[in-house]
Amino acid sequence: MSDHRQGHVILGVNVLVLGYLPAAWQSDRLRKDSFVDPAYWENIGAVAERGTLDALFLADAPLLGDPAYDANAGRLEPTVNWSHVAATTERIGLIATASSTLNDPFDLAQRLLSLDHVSGGRAGWNIVTTRNSPAAQNFGLPDIPERDDRYDRAAEFVDVVLGLWDSAATRDVVRHHGRFFDLEGRLDVPPSRQGRPVLIQAGGSAKGRALAGRRAEGVFAAELTKEGAIEHYREVKRHAADAGRSPESVKILPGLLTSIGSTEEEARRRSDDLHDRGPAAYSVQWLSQAIGYDASQLDLDEKFPKEVLTAAVDPRTAAGSIGFRQSIVAQIRRTNPTVREYLRQTRYTGSGHSGFAGTPEQLVDHIEDWYRSGAVDGFNLQPDVLVDGLEVIADEVVPLLRKRGLFRHEYATDTLRGHFQAASN
């Protein structure tokens, strides 16, 4: 990709309620009830709009988080949370995560289109299939379905939801009789200003990438290396073209964990301090759930065993994330660290999602390099601590991107789909 790439980067922020790292809640700018405090969320929305960011993402919570590796054990339902923020903001996109495995398509289509309507066309749906067995049990299922079944259901789920959203405008009854769903009806929610919510697909499996190319307008990807990101980028764009869509119609936005300081040393100290104040076993437990292997059984001072890196993963039954595992194994093969060395370096390089620890100028260098290399259309940034990390992004990173012609100076559109489309011009 050349230096003359047209358009600008897309910047979203995955808010993760209080921040990405488990010790985020210890910030002296937070209170014990910040995660349910309306004023906290109003401030997040205001800062994001001050930086003219494209969107805020919020994860769903079909089960209680594990405090051993999750900074945000409690959180509000995303569409309800974003409805409040929508009332206090005007331009920022608001993307809610919802599972196609644990929801009903009629109910979810109604909730998301309602959010899109009340926000003036700023809603998006981050489609996930959920891989946690305890979450399934919360919904009366004996276990989470196998991966292929989850993605088959997701594909049909999305088709049904799109039909229902179309019915809001046409008033035509949707008659769907498929493998997973059987319904006849239409939505009574009025169409939104952008017609319907923007679709985001999260996940790196083969079926997930194919679904993204066929239907999604954005992909929340997990990439640790630029080479892997370029491969993923080209694959999804190819799927889009094969489906008769413009490759520009689907935007690739990997997650990027950020720890930012006035010097690289300061940023690393901030990351070290947050990691050291979190649970001692955080990194090992996070790695275990990400790759579907009990990393606590590994010798910390030995290299990763070949059987861990070469293990054949059955995508139907794999417990972890296929996308996370692929990017983590690629990173380990590239640097060949001991387990302890890998866990240490992931403080700064990320694990699953890529990480960054450095200055605002270095972060802009990173964003520009990946963007101009054709690896991304933008990033979904994940501050270590949201409340101050977001301020640095809005007030220090964005102005540097503008100076390089990589980001807008002011909003040119007022819907989420408009923001995505304007980035290509």
Residue 108 CA to residue 114 CA, distance in Å, equals: 10
- C-alpha distances (whole Å) from 259 to each of 274, 331, 370, 387, 401 are 10, 20, 18, 12, 18
282 labeled binding residue: no
φ, ψ at 343 (rounded to 5°): -60, -35
Structure tokens at 270: 């901030």
314 labeled binding residue: no
Residue 343 CA to residue 284 CA, distance in Å, equals: 7
Residue 412 CA to residue 407 CA, distance in Å, equals: 11
**Which of 377, 331, 350, 109 lies closest to 219 in space, CA to CA?**
377
User: Contact, 203 vs 323, CB < 8 A?
Assistant: yes
Residue 271 CA to residue 344 CA, distance in Å, equals: 11
**Which of 81, 119, 122 lies closest to 98 in space, CA to CA?**
81
CB neighbour class for 375 (10 Å; exposed up to 12, middle 13-18, buried from 19): buried
Q: Strands 93-99 and 123-128, how do they pair?
A: parallel
H or E stretch at 201: strand 198-202
**Degrees to nearest 5, angle at CA 262 with 258 and 263:** 90
119 labeled binding residue: no
User: Contact, 248 vs 241, CB < 8 A?
Assistant: no
**Which of 115, 110, 72 lies closest to 95 in space, CA to CA?**
115
Q: Which region, left, alpha or beta, applies to residue 153 given φ > 0 means left and ψ of -120 to 50 means alpha?
A: alpha
151 labeled binding residue: yes
Question: Given the structure tokens 């790196």, which residue do they identify?
Answer: 204
Residue 288 CA to residue 299 CA, distance in Å, equals: 14
Annotated binding residues: 60, 97, 151, 205
Annotated binding residues for FMN: 60, 97, 151, 205
